[in-house]
Amino acid sequence: MTDITKVSTKGQIVIPQDMRDALGIEAGTMVAVERVDDCLVMKKVVIPNLSQEFRRAQRRLRGVAKKAGLSGEQDVVDLVREFRQTHGKAIRKAVSRK
C-alpha cells in the first residue's frame, strides 16, 4: 500500500497510522533511515534491554545448574577444577598443535 505524506519545514514526515499500527511503531520507537538511489528506506530498530536479557540468562543458567545438582558458586569452582584435572593435559596438547 502506498500513501502520500508531506515533509514539514523541520524535515519531519508522518508515517500513516495504519502502517505504524502494523509495525508496532509508537512515539519513541527507533527507526533506521537509509538512502537507496532516490528512495528513503526506513526500518524499525529494536534495541534489546540488556539488563532484562541478562536477568533472563541468569534464570536459565540457574535452572541448568539446579538440574545438574550445582547449588552454589563453590560447586562450579569444584567442577571446573575437576574438569581441568581430568582433561587439562589433552586440552593443552590439542592447543599446542595449532
Both 43 and 2 in one domain: the answer is yes
pTM above 0.85, yes or no: no
CATH number at residue 28: 2.10.260.10
Q: Is 76 in the same domain as 34?
A: no
Please tell me whether residues 63 and 92 are part of one structural domain: yes
Containing structural domain, residue 33: 1-47
Query: How many whole angstroms separate alpha carbon 86 and alpha carbon 91?
Result: 10
Does residue 83 have a pLDDT over 90?
no
Residues 32 and 70 in one domain: no
d(CA 37, CA 40): 8
Q: Are residues 56 and 70 in the same domain?
A: yes
- Could you report the per-residue pLDDT of 48-75, keeping only the tens digit for each? 888 998 899 888 888 888 888 887 778 8
> Quick one: which H or E segment has residue 21?
helix 17-23
Total domains in the chain come to 2
The pLDDT confidence band at residue 98, using thresholds 50, 70 and 90, is: low
**Terminus-to-terminus CA distance in the chain, angstroms?**
57
Same-domain status, 4 and 42: yes
Cα(90)–Cα(40) distance, integer angstroms? 56
